[in-house]
Amino acid sequence: MILPAVIEGYDVSRIFIDGGSSLNLIYADTLRKMNISLANLLPTDTHFHGIAPEKPNYPLGKIALDVQFGTRENFRKERLEFEVIDWPSQYHALLGRPAYARFMAVPHYTYLLWRIPGPKGPITVKGSFALTDKCDKDFHKLSEAFRMQAEYEASKLTTDHDVLPDGGRSLQEQAFDTSKDSNEVQIHPTDPKKMTSIATNMDSA
């Protein structure tokens, strides 16, 4: 589920709501676009899995930011701690279980709704089906790029660049001899001059 929010006063349209994540994540590129220097990050000992296959991921650091949902008439603001990662993503940030608990949120995934208590009654945050579909397509493009990069890195570990590739056919390999290994076959039903050569060792249909 993808929802809009306000982070540190900036309208952020692609917040991925993930109730299965134990972390809140924000991407370094998002902070750069918000004019927040990475020098403001605090050290973190967190690591997690799920981005690069079979490898733990280590954040650049962590940062606390104000996150707001709702309207001017009825809004809720909480300060959340984010782990910062420097990876390309179709999202601007990810909110996991810590955000659910802080906002006391109830999700409705079928309708792309997030309901949280506000000072003037419940706040309903609505997602966009069109934006969700676009993010899914962007995800497939990014995952393909990650897969190709992983295959390239793996090939560098197993390829001996000092050995030249085999550039041609083995000298011991016998070439096809049309005078011995083929039969002449008429290919036109009424014109015997129209012939072609067919290998004698072909399997029958």
What are the structural domains of the chain? 2-143 (2.40.70.10)
H helices of the chain, where? 28-33, 97-103, 129-158
Other Cβ atoms closer than 10 A to 82: 27
Please state the φ and ψ torsions of residue 98, each to the nearest 5 degrees: -60, -35
Instruction: Print burial letters for 100-132: b (CB count within 10 Å at least 16), e (below 16).
Output: bebbebebeeeebebbbebeeeebebebeeebe
Q: Average pLDDT over the chain, rounded to whole? A: 80
Collapsed DSSP state (helix, strand, coil) of residue 147:
helix
Interatomic CA distance for residues 46 and 83, integer angstroms: 8
Contact of 81 with 66, CB cutoff 8 Å: no
107-139 tens-digit pLDDT:
998 888 999 999 999 999 998 878 877 766 765
End-to-end Cα spacing for the chain: 55
147-156 tens-digit pLDDT:
555 454 555 5
Q: What is the pTM of this model?
A: 0.63
Of 205 and 197, more confident: 197
Checking if the pLDDT of 167 tops 60, the result is no
